[in-house]
């Protein structure tokens, strides 16, 4: 199901396909994000979510299809996509570990200042002039995400959850019209996850449309105006949280049961048990890592490694995104 709204499209991806040799990781995916929207992207491990993000941001050149931002087709080059107005965070955090929190945000601003990245890093005379304004803006962003008090800390010393928030601030520093978040709450505790929910609403309220990948279903269904579910590279279902939440094919995809035709009694029982478990999720159970809907999903070393390998092989400029 697709939703049409009167608001203007910020992102339009049509027929995006990404093949790696014989593997089709993303197959003819259409997705629109409108201004003022938060759109969720879900799907089991290996469904193609991150690959789809990589196609949107120019890290990968899609085998087929096109991606437009505010009506203009984007060239598949990360720096051009960023300067057009799309910013992202990464599933495997990419910060400059030995730079301070503030410096990491300042690097994120380089597409919006006349001074280039090297000038920012080397602190040349041109940079000094623009520095005051940039610092002010970067500090404002740190206040926005709640990390202003740690501006001078090295980013590698931040707890994991704060590193994820810092990635968001760095992405926002490029003044995007669309923010892509790849598993922003992976590794966060329930309190941090809830705070991130509020943060994403606040980002939307600043006029930035958001497309977010998450395995935490409570997070995604609370947040999203619309949710699309990818399974084996294809968009299986798209609709409001209510519609997607209740779709048997989505539930079946997560449980690994076949979704063609009507589910048998056994499968139905499994689905009901899963739904009941989710509905009665208590804070104590939510604290346990097993309570996330796909526990092995978020940050298994293999997933992180394959993700890093996938992104690392194609981008020399990942850190500067």
> Residue from 32, 50, 111, 292 that binds Mg ion (CB under 5 A)?
50
The SS3 assignment for 34 reads strand
Closer residue to ligand ATP in complex, CB, 49/204: 49
According to CB under 6 A, which one of 130, 306, 318, 320 is a site residue for ligand ATP? Answer: 306
Contact with ligand ATP (CB under 6 A) among 23, 73, 122, 276: 23
Residues 168-207 that bind Mg ion (CB under 5 A): none
Q: What share of the chain is helix, strand, coil (3-state, %, to 5)?
A: 45, 20, 35
Collect all residues with Cβ–Cβ distance below 8 Å to 283 and sequence separation of at least 6: 190
Give the separation between CA 48 and CA 235, rounded to whole angstroms: 10
CA distance 211 to 87: 10
| Edge-to-edge strand ranges of the sheet holding 178-182 | 86-88, 178-182, 209-213, 38-42, 226-231, 234-239
Whole-number Å distance between alpha carbons of 199 and 165: 9
Stretch that binds Mg ion, among 41-49, 55-63, 127-135, 313-321 (CB under 5 A): 41-49
| Residue 237: HSE in the Cβ half-sphere, 13 Å Cα cutoff | 21
Task: Pick between residue 91 and residue 113 the one whose CB is nearest to Mg ion.
Answer: 91
How many residues at the interface with ligand ATP, by CB under 6 A? 17
* Spatial contact of 216 and 40, defined as CB atoms under 8 Å apart: no
Which region, left, alpha or beta, applies to residue 233 given φ > 0 means left and ψ of -120 to 50 means alpha? left
How far apart are CB 51 and Mg ion at their closest, in Å? 8
CA angle 24, 30, 32 (to 5 degrees): 140
- Applying the rule CB under 5 A, the residues between 242 and 281 that interact with Mg ion are none
Of 52 and 259, the one with the shorter C-beta distance to ligand ATP is 52
User: Does residue 46 interact with ligand ATP by CB under 6 A?
Assistant: yes
Query: What does 245 bind: ligand ATP, Mg ion, none (CB cut-off 5 to 8 Å by kind)?
Result: none
Question: Closest separation between CB of residue 168 and ligand ATP, Å?
Answer: 18
Instruction: Pick what 41 binds: ligand ATP, Mg ion, none; C-beta below 5 to 8 Å, kind-dependent.
Output: none
Of 143 and 296, nearer to ligand ATP (C-beta) is 296
User: Which CB sits closer to ligand ATP, 102 or 220?
Assistant: 220
Q: Rule CB under 5 A: which residues touch Mg ion?
A: 49-50, 91
Residues forming the site for ligand ATP (CB under 6 A): 20, 23, 25, 43, 45-51, 91, 297, 303, 306-307, 310
């Amino acid at each position: 199901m697709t939703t049409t709204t009167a608001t203007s499209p910020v992102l339009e991806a049509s027929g995006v396909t990404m093949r790696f040799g014989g593997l089709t990781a993303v197959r003819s995916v259409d997705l629109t994000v409108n201004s003022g929207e938060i759109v969720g992207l879900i799907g089991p491990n290996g469904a193609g979510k991150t690959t789809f993000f990589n196609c949107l941001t120019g890290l990968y050149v899609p085998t087929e299809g096109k991606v437009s931002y505010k009506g203009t087709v984007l060239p598949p080059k990360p720096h051009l996509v960023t300067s057009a107005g799309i910013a992202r965070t990464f599933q495997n955090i990419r910060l400059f570990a030995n730079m301070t929190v503030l410096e990491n945000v300042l690097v994120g601003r380089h597409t919006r200042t006349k001074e280039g990245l090297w000038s920012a890093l080397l602190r040349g005379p041109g940079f000094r002039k623009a520095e005051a304004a940039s610092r002010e803006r970067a500090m404002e962003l740190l206040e926005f995400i709640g990390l202003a008090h740690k501006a001078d800390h090295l980013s590698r010393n931040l707890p994991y959850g704060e590193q994820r928030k810092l990635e968001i601030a760095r992405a926002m520093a490029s003044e995007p019209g669309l923010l892509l978040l790849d598993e922003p709450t992976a590794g966060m505790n329930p309190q941090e996850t809830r705070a991130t929910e509020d943060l994403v609403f606040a980002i939307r309220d600043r006029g930035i449309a958001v497309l977010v990948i998450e395995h935490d279903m409570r997070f995604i269904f609370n947040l999203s105006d619309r949710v699309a579910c990818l399974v084996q590279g294809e968009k299986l279902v798209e609709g409001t949280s209510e519609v997607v939440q209740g779709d048997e094919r989505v539930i079946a995809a997560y449980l690994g049961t076949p979704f063609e035709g009507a589910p048998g009694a056994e499968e139905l029982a499994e689905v009901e048990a899963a739904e009941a478990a989710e509905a009665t999720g208590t804070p104590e159970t939510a604290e346990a890592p097993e309570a996330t809907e796909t526990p092995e999903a978020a940050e298994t070393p293999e997933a992180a490694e394959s993700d890093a390998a996938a992104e690392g092989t194609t981008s020399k400029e990942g850190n500067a995104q």
